[in-house]
Amino acid sequence: MRILVVEDEPTLAAQLVEGVNAAGYVTDRAGNGVDAHFMGDTEPYDAVVLDLGLPQMDGITVLRKWRAAGRTMPVLILTARDSWHEKVAGIDAGADDYLTKPFHMEELLARLRALIRRAGGHAGAELVCGPLTLDTRSSRARVSGQALSLTSHEYRVLAYLMHHRGEIVSRSELIQHIYAQDFDRDSNTIEVFVGRLRKKLPPDLIETVRGLGYRLACWS
């Protein structure tokens, strides 16, 4: 799951990136509205954390432009304290949720999890696929109750497949959702991660759909 963090204040931006990464996501960061608009318009983010007070283009305008262009990713806006009119304007512009500054990182992460879940049509924080469960709160996966030991990349691949279970996920889609923008992406590494995951999971849980990609087969 790949998140765009849009915040111009460097200290808060660094805290956001650190907190979101620590929760098992990858993040790209934009520090002004023009960059944010471009990135959200061209990259496939699973969710966006959007500060509203931004240089070059304000957050409301960025959000309106995304929505006008048909970009539907969940957006959590950050609003100034005591600014109820910002919340109203943000929600009217297409925000899915908001947080008022200052906020606790745990609350931001809980809201982010809920947004990503709802975007995938899932109600609960625990995703289930046959014997496999993934707790999005703790970033832990279990098979028949036994905790799996996963590297951060393996977790990201598995989490993306779990959020899209039953669907065919191509290798290029996986690459776009498990790496940050400035990361050197190599599609062969996806095969390596999937190969390692298969050794840790029940056989045939990750199907290869020839020429198309992978699919979690939750009935096995």
Total chain residues near Ca ion (CB under 5 A) = 3
Q: Closest CB to Ca ion belongs to which residue?
A: 53
Q: How far apart are CA 153 and CA 198, in angstroms?
A: 14
8 touching Ca ion, by CB under 5 A = yes
CB of 51 to Ca ion, least distance (A): 4
Question: Strands 75-79 and 26-30, how do they pair?
Answer: unpaired
CB of 7 to Ca ion, least distance (A): 6
53 touching Ca ion, by CB under 5 A = yes
CB of 80 to Ca ion, least distance (A): 8
Closest CA to 73 of 81, 58, 62: 62
173 touching Ca ion, by CB under 5 A = no
N-terminal to C-terminal alpha carbon distance within the chain = 25
51 touching Ca ion, by CB under 5 A = yes
Q: Cis ω on the peptide bond leading into residue 55 (within 30° of 0)?
A: no
Q: Which is nearer to Ca ion, 11 or 149 (CB)?
A: 11
Q: Which is nearer to Ca ion, 76 or 134 (CB)?
A: 76
- Binding residues for Ca ion (CB under 5 A): 8, 51, 53
